[in-house]
């Protein structure tokens, strides 16, 4: 029996053929026809005007933040319940990340606390140049409420959609909300280029500016002329080819993850666990089911650590939910608007193996094992 991972890359012959195609074309470089086509295909898929393929999702967040005016002395409010990359991108610009707590049902940012944080910061004289939401483990935020509240306050929304490609809120794709959005194609995400990301926006000026900064801020003249500090953030042509093959398989991979979620809900349905979000759709939202997250109820006398140890002994990987940024030592001095929700989710929450490449036999192995561990069988 081999080890079952949380979310392993799902690679088929299509990706192998795409890499060969890219290599044979001679475009073994950052940029090239695969990159151009990948940008068009993702923009179409999500329903935005412009896309910029980059070396990571973190790079996409960084460039979007720069365009929104992130700099020392200003604040960006951001969901605390996220991967460090969201907050790190803010820190790169010198701006202060200000952390906002979650709502209970799915761990996504609490709209009320988000608005309160902005109003309070402003009342104290702090300039807030943007709000960053995160579609946690593939569950869309409540954008109907969030977009309206931010618009009222004149604060641009930057969507960290790194975990959310393929999800929808009221029929609108994750990645299409706000001024700009970032996708990640890291190895464990819903689709991968092995490493990569994309900046999405309907704002042509924002994307053009990011494109320029991502290629070392090179001026359009025949020699190398620079008037600003730039970055080396572009995606390679070879990796874009992998991404195009993955995109062609995305709906199938999401369907498989959804099936896995349904199986978890069937087998664990009678236990004292809360599933983050819902299985499929609650009318407003469609999740991509990137990861299945559960929160242990009080009657379960186990910690996430206990569960992790037990599952590990069965050669199955489970993980804690993200540890909130306001509890991270590196952000100990950051301002926060918290009510204990994300901390509780972290102390009781786990993510379960959710990869689309898991075989039917392994699905049964995983659901059986987690059921046994949680019931002490
Ligand atoms: C993965 C992830 C990122 C970063 O993406 P990279 O491509 O790894 O840089 C950012 N935010 C969230 C919420 C993520 O899960």
Distance 85 CA to ligand 1 centre (A): 6
Largest CA distance in the chain: 71
Question: What's the average model confidence in pLDDT over 106-133?
Answer: 98
Distance 60 CA to ligand 1 centre (A): 10
Query: What does the pLDDT read at residue 282?
Result: 57
Parent domain of 214: 13-248
- Clarify whether residues 166 and 34 are in a common domain: yes
56 pocket-lining for ligand 1 (C-beta < 6 Å): yes
How big is the chain by its Cα radius of gyration, in Å?
A: 21
CATH number of the domain residue 289 falls in: 3.90.1150.10
Quick: pLDDT tens for 202-243. Answer: 999 999 999 999 999 999 999 999 999 999 999 999 999 999
| 118 part of a folded domain | yes
- Clarify whether residues 140 and 271 are in a common domain: no
Ligand 1 binding pocket mutation candidate from 102, 109, 186, 234 (most atoms within 8 A of CB) = 186
Tell me how far apart the alpha carbons of residues 328 and 340 are, in angstroms, rounded to a whole number. 14
- Clarify whether residues 207 and 266 are in a common domain: no
Q: Which atom of ligand 1 is nearest to the CA of 58?
A: 9
Closest protein CA for atom 8 of ligand 1: 186
162 pocket-lining for ligand 1 (C-beta < 6 Å): yes
Query: What does the pLDDT read at residue 277?
Result: 85
Pair of tokens at residue 259: 């099936």
Quick: pLDDT tens for 85-104. Answer: 999 999 999 999 999 999 99
Pair of tokens at residue 69: 């005016």
Quick: pLDDT tens for 160-198. Answer: 999 999 999 999 999 999 999 999 999 999 999 999 999
Q: Domain end: 248, 278, 303, which one?
A: 248
Pair of tokens at residue 329: 């030592």
Average pLDDT, the chain: 96
- Clarify whether residues 196 and 335 are in a common domain: no
83 pocket-lining for ligand 1 (C-beta < 6 Å): yes
Q: Domain end: 248, 275, 300, which one?
A: 248
Quick: pLDDT tens for 244-282. Answer: 999 999 999 999 999 999 999 999 999 999 999 874 445
Distance 169 CA to ligand 1 centre (A): 20
| 223 part of a folded domain | yes
| 6 part of a folded domain | no
- Clarify whether residues 234 and 258 are in a common domain: no
* Count of structural domains within the chain: 2
CATH number of the domain residue 207 falls in: 3.40.640.10
86 pocket-lining for ligand 1 (C-beta < 6 Å): yes
Tell me how far apart the alpha carbons of residues 376 and 370 are, in angstroms, rounded to a whole number. 10
Pair of tokens at residue 179: 């001024």
Confidence of residue 1 (pLDDT cuts 50, 70, 90): confident
Q: Domain end: 248, 281, 311, which one?
A: 248
């Amino acid at each position: 029996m081999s080890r079952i991972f949380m979310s392993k890359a799902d690679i088929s012959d299509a990706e192998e053929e795409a890499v060969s195609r890219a290599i044979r074309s001679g475009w073994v470089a950052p940029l090239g026809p695969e990159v151009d086509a990948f940008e068009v295909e993702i923009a179409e898929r999500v329903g935005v005007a412009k896309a910029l393929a980059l070396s990571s999702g973190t790079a996409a967040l960084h460039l979007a933040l720069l365009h929104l005016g992130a700099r020392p002395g200003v604040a960006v409010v951001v969901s605390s319940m996220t991967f460090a990359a969201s907050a790190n991108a803010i820190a790169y610009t010198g701006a202060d990340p200000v952390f906002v707590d979650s709502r209970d049902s799915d761990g996504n940012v609490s709209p009320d606390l988000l608005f309160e944080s902005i109003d309070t910061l402003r009342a104290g004289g702090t300039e807030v140049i943007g709000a960053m939401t995160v579609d946690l483990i593939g569950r869309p935020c409540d954008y109907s409420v969030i977009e309206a509240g931010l618009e009222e306050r004149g604060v641009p929304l930057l969507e960290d959609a790194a975990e959310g490609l393929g999800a929808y809120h009221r029929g609108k794709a994750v990645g299409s909300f706000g001024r700009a959005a970032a996708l990640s194609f890291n190895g464990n995400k819903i689709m991968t280029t092995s490493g990569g990301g994309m900046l999405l926006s309907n704002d042509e000026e924002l994307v053009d500016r990011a494109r320029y900064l991502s290629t070392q801020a090179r001026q359009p003249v025949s020699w190398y002329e620079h008037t600003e500090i730039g970055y080396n953030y572009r995606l390679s042509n070879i990796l874009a080819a992998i991404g195009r093959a993955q995109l062609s398989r995305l709906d199938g991979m999401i369907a498989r993850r959804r099936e896995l979620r349904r199986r978890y809900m069937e087998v664990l349905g009678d236990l004292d666990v809360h599933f983050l979000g819902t299985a499929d759709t609650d009318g407003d939202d469609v999740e991509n089911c990137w990861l299945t997250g559960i929160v242990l109820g009080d009657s379960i006398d186990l910690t996430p650590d206990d569960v992790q140890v037990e599952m590990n002994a069965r050669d199955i990987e489970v993980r804690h939910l993200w540890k909130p940024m306001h509890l991270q030592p590196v952000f100990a001095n950051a301002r926060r608007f918290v009510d204990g929700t994300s901390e509780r989710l972290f102390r009781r929450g786990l993510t379960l193996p959710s990869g689309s490449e898991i075989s039917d036999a392994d699905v049964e192995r995983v659901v059986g094992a987690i059921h046994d561990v949680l019931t002490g069988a």
